[in-house]
Every structure is written in structure tokens, then in C-alpha cells.
Chain A
Amino acid sequence: MDLFQIIDDIAKVDPEVYDRFDARRAVFRNFLGFGKKVTAAAVPLAVSTLFTKAYGQTATLDATVVATLNLALQLEYLEYYYYDTAINSPGLLNAEQTTAFNTIRNDERLHINTLRGVLGTQAIADPTRAGYDYTTSQNKTRSPLVPAFAALGGTTSPTTGTFTDNTTFLLVAQNFVDTGVRAYKGGAANLINQKDILEAALNIHSVEARHSSRIRSFRRGGIQSATAPKSWITPDETPGALLPNNGVAGSPSQVSPYAAGADATMFPAENNTTQATANVQSLVPSGGSATAGAEAFDEPLDAATVKAIAKNFAANPAALFN
């Protein structure tokens, strides 16, 4: 058994293998000296330890990676408790919605578990339901941004209350999930050097987009609605209702799940039709839709703008999304 042939073979299928073993390839090469001192019988154990270290979850994560994943985790909790509260709100959901939101809620729990597994001890504490105020009153320190949002927990105890209005619930659910999709998309580049973590984040990102599609079809009268069956973000939804930015540095003065982020070139509004330098609406085939160019591409959002949006739903805006 030639250990170094094996490692080189792994490198062919996993170019980052040396990085996994150590930040510097040269240090890993020093393992050669170590290897000579162990018996052949001990090699499998040594190799096993090596792989555990390389692919386990104990490696030190870059601070940017930690920040990106912890923002994702706070958004997952925001969604999880939102759907969990809805499922436990008597009479809020019909049977079809109950099934759908159970699936979505459970997916968010799995995402929380997965993110916590990657972050280990660096994961934020569970904010619990009490960490969020979905009425946007920030635990009764201001009026709800939209009067109808009072139906998402009430005015007496908004950090524990149940939901009472289906339409408002679906609207905010769509806002949350689309913000989540944009946040993962905007955060992906921060993970580009951590390939396994990047792939996990991408695999959450697409599941969130599936959720968004399902929620949109509820809002648009069902999958067979003849009037508005689209389940993708259409340009008439943008920029959407603008929200205060809660003083988050680097975010626009007003924010929205569908509007542009801090850098409108990097993070354009969802009605954007310019990709790279191409006007993608001009690529629509003959007889095609006037809105397809914007629909065909979703847009990323920067972390500051995501935090500015999400703080509106924190019970204590100083405690979350910092």
C-alpha cells in the first residue's frame, strides 16, 4: 500500500485534499517522515485518523464562513418558528397547507441541524420562538410596520402568540423564503474555498427555492389557477413594500426582499434583466413572455441587507442578525 499514491489519487477526485489535511501542502508532506516511523500494521489507523481530521467537522472554520453560516442559521430559525407557530395556530391553515407547511417546517429543522453540525461550538444559541416577533413590533416597542401584520402573533404577547390571518401568513412566508434564497445565493461566494460546505449550502439553497415555489402557488390560487399560475418571482412584485433598515451599516436606507441590495450592481433588484452584460429579455423566443427575462434569473442579496430586513422580525433587534 503506497500511502502517497493513494493521497495523490484522492487529489484527482478531490483537488482540495491537501488543504483538508493541512493549510499548507508542505506540512502534510512532512507526514512522510512520520509514516516511516510507524509500522505497516499501524498505517491504517494513522490513515483513518487523517481522514477523520480531513473530513470531520472539527476543522477550524474561517471567520467569514462562520459568519455566513450563522446568518443562514438565524434565518432558518426565523423560518422554522414561523412555520411551527402557523402549524399550531388553530384554524389558520387548510389541510393541504398543513401538509405543505409541515414538510417545509421539518426541512428547516433539518437545515438547522445540518448547519449546527458544520458550525459545531461556533453555532449561535437557539433564539427560540421568543426571539422573534413576526408582527414587526419588535416586542411592542413600535407599531407593526403594516397593520395587518398584527395578525402574526397579536399585540399582547407578539413573541408567543398564534397567527390568525391566512393571507398575511402566506405573504410573509413568501417574503421570508425569498429572502432566504437570496441570502444563500449572496453568501455562496464566501464559501468558495470550502467545497463541501459550499455544496451543502447550495443543497439548502435549492430546497428553499422549492419551498418558495410551493408557497407562491398557494398565494396565486393553486397550481391550476388560470389567472396567475406562475411560481417564480415576477417583475411586478418588485421592489415590494420597503422596510426600515434598522440602522444596519452598509445596507440601503430602505430594504425589501425584492429590492436591490447595498451594491445595486452586484445585488440588483429581482426585476433585473441584465446578466453579465447581456439584456436577457432580448433573448426571449418569438411569442414569449414580456416578463421572462427577469423571471429566468433570481438575484443574490448581500449580508447587510439581509440582516436589515430580518431585524424587523426580531423581538430584540440588537440580539439577532448582527
Chain B
Amino acid sequence: MSSFPPSRPAAPETDTPDLLAPVARRSFLRYSSAGLALGGLYLAGCSKDDTTGPSGGNGALIDVGTGDIGILNYAYALEQLEAAFYTQVVAGAYYAGASAAEKAIFSDLRDHEVIHRDFFKAAITTGRITDALVPDFSNIDFAQRTTTSGKLGVLNAAMAFEDLGVAAYNGAGRFITSAAYLTLAGKIVSVEARHAAVIRELMATNTFVGNDVVNLDSSSTNNGAPGASGAVTGTGLERSKRPQVVLATANNFLMAGSKLSATNFAN
């Protein structure tokens, strides 16, 4: 589908902000004024007559489907990716030489994500996407704690996955029609946020929130400065991402044939 952002051929070489290169928050800007709204909509209108099926030379995309099952499939796909990542982490050279604390953390993360994956597998009884998405971790070096050159280090990749997972669940909530499923997603996303904060703390002290993931207006010096509470700017909101934006990043970590689309959940 033409509106689906093309997958980049390779993960970036340096750090997470690049990996998660933010896509403009078009869905907000689209409505910020009539002019912007119309401008954005002309672009949206350009693709409306295009075919909706998978196309191109990159292999067919696996679409997560429609409705609540589509969102559950979307979550299942992301959990498959995370579970595969942490399973490989705990079998890798970084983990073998990691501190006791980091071993305990990554072992727990592996457990939690495997549980999430297998829970969705059990919960989606009909219309479930494949249980065997094939990850592509060729741009992650499982021997390196952090990125040193070329490939992502384990912490950098973990941070990318966890922050992406939080943004994904938050951005998917609006598409859920069942209160029970909405609550279920909430039960998982806060655990993902706890994960994200821990990994960020391992990367650098007191980075559990940052302007890259939470709207804090980094130009303000008040965030962190005592006594300036009345002057802080930003919204304090996590920077949620719509499914198609999330998948543009997630597909960088999936092999051709396992890449995903969410054509029914527009940006």
C-alpha cells in the first residue's frame, strides 16, 4: 500500500534517537488549523484509490487485520519481536558477562515478554496472525552492552523496543472498542513502561523520562531545576505513535515475508 512508509534497508549506525527517527505528528497538525487540515487531507486523498493489497518487491506484508482482533494481532506481533529479542539477549555474550543486576533485569524482561507473547497467542483464538514471525536482528550486536560502532548494542536495542512498545500501546488504545481489551492493554503497557524506564536508567542515570519519549519541551531549562515548577512547558504526555508509524520502525527488525502492515488503522 502506497501510504505505508517504506522500510529502511538497514538500521541506523549510531544511536536510538536515529533509530526512532520521529515521524511528524501529522495527525495532530492536520487538525491544528483549517489550512493545515486541508493540506494534509489532499495528501491523504492522493492514496485513496490505490490498491490496498501488499505490493512491491519487498515481499508481501502481513496485515494485522481489522477491529479489536487487528489490534490484538498488532500487539501480538510486537510481543513476538520483543520476546525473540530478549531470548537472544540471554543467550548472548553480553549477558554472559553482564553484572548480576543486569542479568536479573534481562532475565525478567525475557520472562515478561515471553509471557505477553504466549498470552496473546492463547487469547486470539480466531484470526490470529502467524505465530512464527521471523526477526531480523542483523543490526544488533548481542555481544555489546551499548552501541560502540556499526550495530546497536543490547541496551540501545532494548531501549528502542521498550519505548516503541509503550508508544505503540498508547497509540493503539483509541482503536479498541472493547473495554475489556482496553484494560488488558493497560495492564501490559505499564509493565512495558517500567521496562523502558529501567533500561534508560541503565543507559544513563535519571533518563527514565526524556523529551524523546515524553513531551517535555527540551528547550525549557525548568525540567529538573528546583523552584521553577510554575514555568515548565510541554504536556507531560508520552509521545504515542499510531500503528503505521510504529510498524515502519518495527519492520526494520523483521525479515522479508514477516514484515507487517496495519492498513485498517490509519495514522
Residue B81 interfacial (CB < 8 Å) = no
- Of B35, B45, B170, which is in contact with the most chain A CB atoms at under 10 Å from its CB? B170
Interface of A is mostly: helix
- CB pair A210 B44 closer than 8 Å: no
- Among A28-36, A152-160, A223-231, A246-254, the stretch in contact with B: A223-231
Question: How far is B170's CA from A210's CA once the two chains are assembled, in angstroms?
Answer: 14
Residue B126 interfacial (CB < 8 Å) = no
Residue B101 interfacial (CB < 8 Å) = yes
- CB pair B196 A210 closer than 8 Å: yes
- CB pair B34 A51 closer than 8 Å: yes
Using A9-B44, A280-B119, A289-B108 as known contacts, say yes or no to A209 and B201 having CB atoms under 8 A apart.
no
Residue A214 interfacial (CB < 8 Å) = yes
- CB pair A181 B201 closer than 8 Å: no
- CB pair A292 B232 closer than 8 Å: no
Residue A212 interfacial (CB < 8 Å) = yes
Q: What residues on B are CB-neighbors of A196 within 8 Å? A: 174
How many A-B contacts are there with CB distance less than 8 Å? Answer: 271
- CB pair B48 A9 closer than 8 Å: yes
- CB pair A285 B266 closer than 8 Å: no
**Of all chain B residues, which has the CB nearest A55?**
B31
Q: What residues on B are CB-neighbors of A209 within 8 Å? A: 189-191, 193-194, 197
Using A110-B232, A213-B197, A300-B186 as known contacts, say yes or no to A103 and B174 having CB atoms under 8 A apart.
no
Q: What residues on A are CB-neighbors of B131 within 8 Å? A: none
CB-CB contacts below 8 Å: A216-243 with B: 216-217, 223-226, 229-232
Interface of B is mostly: helix
Residue B214 interfacial (CB < 8 Å) = yes
CB-CB contacts below 8 Å: B155-194 with A: 166, 169-171, 173-174, 176-177, 179, 182-184, 186-194
Q: What residues on B are CB-neighbors of A51 within 8 Å? A: 31, 33-34, 37
Q: What residues on B are CB-neighbors of A200 within 8 Å? A: 235, 237
Question: How far is B224's CA from A100's CA once the two chains are assembled, in angstroms?
Answer: 8
Residue B27 interfacial (CB < 8 Å) = yes
Residue A205 interfacial (CB < 8 Å) = yes
Residue B127 interfacial (CB < 8 Å) = no
Q: What residues on A are CB-neighbors of B179 within 8 Å? A: 189, 192
Question: How far is B235's CA from A106's CA once the two chains are assembled, in angstroms?
Answer: 10
- Of B101, B192, B195, B225, which is in contact with the most chain A CB atoms at under 10 Å from its CB? B101
A interface bracket (residues with beta carbon within 8 Å of B)? 35 or more
**Which one of B41, B111, B239 contacts A285 once the chains associate, using CB atoms below 8 Å?**
B111
Residue B267 interfacial (CB < 8 Å) = yes
- CB pair B115 A210 closer than 8 Å: no
- Among B54-62, B145-153, B203-211, B249-257, the stretch in contact with A: B203-211
- CB pair A185 B190 closer than 8 Å: yes
- CB pair B223 A106 closer than 8 Å: yes
- CB pair A224 B99 closer than 8 Å: yes
- CB pair A229 B105 closer than 8 Å: yes
- CB pair A296 B115 closer than 8 Å: yes
- CB pair A296 B112 closer than 8 Å: yes
**Which one of A84, A108, A214, A278 contacts B122 once the chains associate, using CB atoms below 8 Å?**
A278
Residue A1 interfacial (CB < 8 Å) = yes
- CB pair A202 B214 closer than 8 Å: no
Using A192-B179, A283-B114, A283-B115 as known contacts, say yes or no to A205 and B224 having CB atoms under 8 A apart.
no
Q: What residues on A are CB-neighbors of B189 within 8 Å? A: 202, 205-206, 209
For A263-292 the 0/1 string (1 means CB < 8 A from B) is 000000000000110101001110011001
Q: What residues on B are CB-neighbors of A189 within 8 Å? A: 179, 182-183
- CB pair A48 B223 closer than 8 Å: no
B interface residue numbers (CB < 8 A to A): 27, 30-31, 33-35, 37-38, 41, 44-45, 48, 87, 99-102, 104-105, 107-108, 110-112, 114-116, 118-119, 122-123, 166, 169-171, 173-174, 176-177, 179, 182-184, 186-198, 201-202, 205-206, 208-209, 214-216, 222-226, 229-230, 232-240, 266-267
Q: Which 7 A-B pairs have the closest CB atoms?
A: A110-B236, A213-B197, A209-B193, A292-B111, A48-B34, A203-B237, A209-B190
Q: Could you show 17 A-B contacts with beta carbons less than 8 Å apart?
A: A6-B41, A13-B267, A51-B31, A51-B33, A84-B229, A88-B226, A199-B170, A202-B240, A207-B214, A213-B198, A229-B105, A276-B119, A276-B123, A293-B115, A295-B108, A296-B111, A296-B112
Q: A13-B267, A209-B197, A230-B105 are in contact. List 7 more A-B contacts (CB 8 A).
A: A44-B38, A192-B177, A210-B209, A284-B115, A288-B110, A295-B108, A295-B112
